[in-house]
A = this chain, B = another copy of it.
């Protein structure tokens, strides 16, 4: 597309081009970033873990996280917009649950990584 490479100091132009081509294999890169961002907040990560195997309503989650229900609602909205959780209404109560177990897979891999990293410390 653009050729601003010419204006720039590049030591290994071949590698840059190869890397650029490699990145083309990841057109969903921004969406991946958004997914990682969704679970990067400790509160939202706790929500995801809490909903693994359990339906919970917003006020339960607020109690679990020790934040206001408004804050919990704002956080779960982000997870909902990312299609990580969905809800089911029963009267006045909205029960939240994980959409599927893809997220938990991601979380398990992350936990393995962290355990490996902190093993030798």
| A interface, CB within 8 angstroms of B | 4-5, 8-12, 15-16, 18-20, 22-23, 26, 28-37, 39-42, 45-46, 49-50, 52-57, 59-60, 62-64, 66, 69, 83, 93, 100, 102-103, 105-107, 109-118
Q: A46-B23, A64-B20 are in contact. Are A114 and B31 (CB under 8 A)?
A: yes
A-B residue pairs in contact (CB < 8 Å), sample of 17:
A5-B63, A8-B59, A9-B59, A15-B55, A15-B60, A16-B56, A16-B63, A18-B54, A19-B56, A19-B64, A22-B52, A22-B54, A23-B46, A32-B39, A33-B39, A36-B37, A105-B109
Summarize A's interface: helix, strand, loop or mixed: helix
